[in-house]
C-alpha cells in the first residue's frame, strides 16, 4: 500500500465545484488502496484578499496577527474538502498546521519548518481516513500560528512527504508539468518527463514558476520524488528526482527568462581593496539582493563595476549608489531597467565543454547583444535587452533541439 502526499494549489481548489472534483480524484486514489495525505492551498486570490484586509487595518500589519489571518485561507479549503469526501461516502479529516503539529521557527510570514509529528496523521491513516492538511502554515514552540511565505504549500507537502517517508509527493497545478521553456513564448516547448533536483533548483530560481524553490531544496535534501502534474488531466507530468535515476540527461534541459532585474553600473572607481565592500554594504544593509556582479580588469588604477538587482529595488539602489559614488570618487552611476536574463540549464553541461560558446553563437546569429554573462556548473545566464527576450528564447530552444523528445523515458509507475 503506497503512501502518497498530494498537494493542490489555489486554482485547483478555487471554487466549491473544483474542490468536489479534487475530492473525487483523491477518493479514487484512496479506493485503489493507497494511503492518502492531501495538502491544500487557499482558494485562488484568497491570500491576496486577506492581505488587502490587513492593510486596511494597519499601515504595516503586525506580523503575528498577519499569520493568524493568512492561515484562515487554508482552513476554509481543508474543511470543505473533508465535507466533500464525506458526501461522496468516503472518510476524511482536516487538520491545521498546529494540530498536526508542523513545528516552525518564529519568523512570522516567512517561517521555516524544523519538524513534523507524524503520529496524529498516522493514527487517522490507520483508521482508513484521507488526511487533509492546511498548507503554508505551522506553529511555534510557544503556540503561535506561523505561515511559510507565499507559495509555501509546496513546502508543506514536501516536508510532510519527507517526514512520513511517503512513496511520492504529487504537486497538482494548472499546467501539465515542467516545460522546456515557457509555452507562451515558444509554442514548441515540450513537457519534460524527468528532471534532476539541481536542474529544477536552477530553473525555479531563474524564473520557472511551477514549483516553489524552497520545496525543491527540501525534496533534494530528503530525496523525495516529486511529481508535478495537472489537476485537470490524468496525464503523467514531470518527475523531479535524483540525477542518477535519469537514464540519459540532455545537454540543455530547459531555458528560462526573467524580466525582473535591472542593471546598475558604477564607472571609474578606484581599483583597490575595500571598494567593493563600500559599494555593496549599503545595498545589503537596505535588504536589496544583488544577483550578477562584474568587475573589469584594468590597468590597476580605475575600474567599472556592473551588477543587477531586482527591478522593484532599482530606484532605491540607484539612490544609495549615487551617495556611495560621491564618497569613493567614482565618475558616474548609470543604469538600465529594460534588461532580461535568459538562461540555459542542464546537468549535461558538466561533462561537455562548449555549451556556453554555442549559446553565444546562437545569440550572435540573431544579432542579440550580451551585456553580462554568469555561469554555474549547470547553467549559463546572459543579460540582454528586454525586447529581444522572446527571440532569444525561441532561437535557443530551436538550436539546442529541445522540441525533440530524445530522452529515453522509463514508464512511470
Q: List the x/- string, 126-155, binding to Mg ion by CB under 5 A.
A: -------------------------x----
| Contact between 110 and ligand ASP per CB under 6 A | no
- Give the number of other CB atoms < 10 A from CB of residue 7: 28
Among residues 6, 41, 238, 389, which is the contact residue for ligand ASP, using CB under 6 A? 41
Query: With CB under 6 A, what is the number of residues at the site for ligand ASP?
Result: 12
Among residues 6, 9, 116, 239, which is the contact residue for Mg ion, using CB under 5 A? 9
Which residues, 193 to 232, sit near ligand ASP by CB under 6 A? Answer: none
Among residues 14, 73, 225, 346, which is the contact residue for ligand ASP, using CB under 6 A? 73
Give the interface segment with ligand ASP, choosing from 39-47, 107-115, 252-260, 302-310 (CB under 6 A). Answer: 39-47
- Beta strands 137-139; 145-147: pairing state: antiparallel
For the CB of residue 108, give the shortest distance to Mg ion in the complex, in Å.
20
| Contact between 104 and ligand ASP per CB under 6 A | no
61 binds, among ligand ASP, Mg ion, none (CB under 5 to 8 A by kind): none
User: Between 10 and 90, whose beta carbon lies closer to ligand ASP?
Assistant: 10
User: Between 42 and 125, whose beta carbon lies closer to Mg ion?
Assistant: 42
| Contact between 6 and ligand ASP per CB under 6 A | no
What is the enclosing helix (H) or strand (E) of 276?
helix 275-285
Query: With CB under 5 A, what is the number of residues at the site for Mg ion?
Result: 2
- Is residue 329 within 8 Å of residue 272, measured between CB atoms? no
225 binds, among ligand ASP, Mg ion, none (CB under 5 to 8 A by kind): none
- The DSSP bridge partners found for residue 382 are 342, 373
Which residues, 137 to 166, sit near ligand ASP by CB under 6 A? Answer: 150-153
| Contact between 225 and Mg ion per CB under 5 A | no
For the CB of residue 340, give the shortest distance to ligand ASP in the complex, in Å.
25
| Contact between 177 and Mg ion per CB under 5 A | no
User: Between 9 and 207, whose beta carbon lies closer to Mg ion?
Assistant: 9
Distance CA 237, CA 194 (A): 9
For the CB of residue 241, give the shortest distance to ligand ASP in the complex, in Å.
22
For the CB of residue 183, give the shortest distance to ligand ASP in the complex, in Å.
22
Among residues 135, 237, 254, 346, which is the contact residue for ligand ASP, using CB under 6 A? 135
- Distant-in-sequence, close-in-space partners of 299: CB < 8 Å, separation ≥ 6: none
User: Between 90 and 151, whose beta carbon lies closer to Mg ion?
Assistant: 151
For the CB of residue 97, give the shortest distance to ligand ASP in the complex, in Å.
12
Chain contacts with Mg ion (rule: CB under 5 A): 9, 151
Chain contacts with ligand ASP (rule: CB under 6 A): 9-10, 41-42, 47, 73, 135-136, 150-153
Amino acid at each position: 500500500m503506497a503512501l502518497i502526499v498530494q498537494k493542490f494549489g489555489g486554482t485547483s481548489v478555487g471554487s466549491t465545484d473544483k474542490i468536489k472534483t479534487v475530492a473525487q480524484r483523491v477518493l479514487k486514489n484512496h479506493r485503489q488502496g493507497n494511503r492518502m495525505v492531501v495538502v491544500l492551498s487557499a482558494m485562488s486570490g484568497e491570500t491576496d484578499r486577506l492581505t488587502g484586509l490587513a492593510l486596511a487595518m494597519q499601515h504595516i500589519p503586525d506580523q503575528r496577527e498577519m499569520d493568524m489571518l493568512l492561515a484562515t485561507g487554508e482552513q476554509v479549503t481543508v474543511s470543505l474538502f473533508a465535507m466533500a469526501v464525506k458526501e461522496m461516502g468516503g472518510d476524511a479529516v482536516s487538520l491545521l498546521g498546529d494540530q498536526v503539529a508542523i513545528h516552525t521557527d518564529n519568523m512570522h510570514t516567512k517561517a521555516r519548518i524544523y519538524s513534523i509529528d507524524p503520529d496524529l496523521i498516522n493514527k487517522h491513516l490507520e483508521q482508513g481516513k484521507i488526511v487533509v492538511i492546511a498548507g503554508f502554515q505551522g506553529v511555534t514552540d510557544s503556540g503561535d500560528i506561523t505561515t511559510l511565505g507565499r507559495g509555501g504549500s509546496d513546502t508543506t507537502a514536501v516536508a510532510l512527504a519527507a517526514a512520513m517517508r511517503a512513496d511520492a509527493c504529487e504537486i497538482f497545478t494548472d499546467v501539465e508539468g515542467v516545460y522546456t521553456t515557457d509555452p507562451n513564448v515558444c509554442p514548441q516547448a515540450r513537457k519534460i518527463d524527468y528532471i534532476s533536483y539541481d536542474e529544477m533548483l536552477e530553473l525555479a530560481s531563474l524564473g520557472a514558476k511551477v514549483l516553489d524553490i524552497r520545496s525543491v531544496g527540501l525534496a533534494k535534501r530528503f530525496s523525495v520524488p516529486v511529481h508535478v502534474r495537472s489537476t485537470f488531466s490524468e496525464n503523467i507530468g514531470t518527475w523531479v528526482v535524483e540525477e542518477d535515476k535519469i537514464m540519459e540527461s540532455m545537454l540543455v534541459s530547459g531555458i528560462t527568462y526573467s524580466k525582473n532585474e535591472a542593471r546598475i553600473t558604477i564607472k571609474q572607481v578606484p581599483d583597490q581593496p575595500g571598494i567593493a565592500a563600500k559599494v555593496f554594504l549599503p545595498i545589503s544593509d537596505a535588504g536589496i539582493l544583488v544577483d550578477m556582479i562584474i568587475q573589469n580588469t584594468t590597468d590597476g588604477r580605475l575600474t567599472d563595476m556592473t551588477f543587477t538587482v531586482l527591478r522593484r529595488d532599482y530606484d532605491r539602489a540607484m539612490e544609495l549608489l549615487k551617495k556611495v559614488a560621491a564618497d569613493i570618487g567614482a565618475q558616474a552611476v548609470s543604469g538600465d531597467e529594460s534588461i532580461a536574463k535568459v538562461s540555459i540549464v542542464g546537468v549535461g553541461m558538466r561533462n561537455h565543454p562548449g555549451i556556453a560558446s554555442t549559446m553565444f553563437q546562437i545569440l550572435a546569429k540573431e544579432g542579440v547583444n550580451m551585456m553580462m554573462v554568469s555561469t554555474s556548473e549547470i547553467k549559463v545566464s546572459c543579460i540582454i535587452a528586454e525586447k529581444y527576450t522572446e527571440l532569444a528564447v525561441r532561437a535557443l530552444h530551436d538550436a539546442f533541439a529541445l522540441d525533440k523528445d530524445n530522452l529515453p523515458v522509463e514508464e512511470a509507475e
